[in-house]
Amino acid sequence: MPELVFFSGTMDCGKSTLALQIGHNRSARGLQGVIFTRDDRAGEGKLSSRLGLVTEAVEAGEGMDLYAYLVGQLSQGGKADYVIVDEAQFLAPDQIDQLARIVDDLGMDVFAFGITTDFRTKLFPGSQRLIELADRIEQLQVEALCWCGARATHNARTVGGEMVVEGEQVVVGDVNRPSEEVGYEVLCRRHHRRRMTSAAARAGALSPDVLPVNQG
Sequential DSSP letters for the chain: ---EEEEE--TTSSHHHHHHHHHHHHHHTT--EEEEESS-TT-TTEEE-TTS-EEE-EE--TT--HHHHHHHHHHTT---SEEEESSGGGS-HHHHHHHHHHHHHH--EEEEEE-SB-TTSPBPHHHHHHHHH-SEEEE-SS--B-TTSSBP-EEEEEETTEEE--S-S-----BT--TTSEEEEEE-HHHHHTT--HHHHHHHHHSPPPPPPPP-
User: Is there a catalytic annotation at residue 87?
Assistant: yes
Q: Which of 3, 56, 62, 87 is catalytic?
A: 87
The residues annotated as belonging to the active site are 87
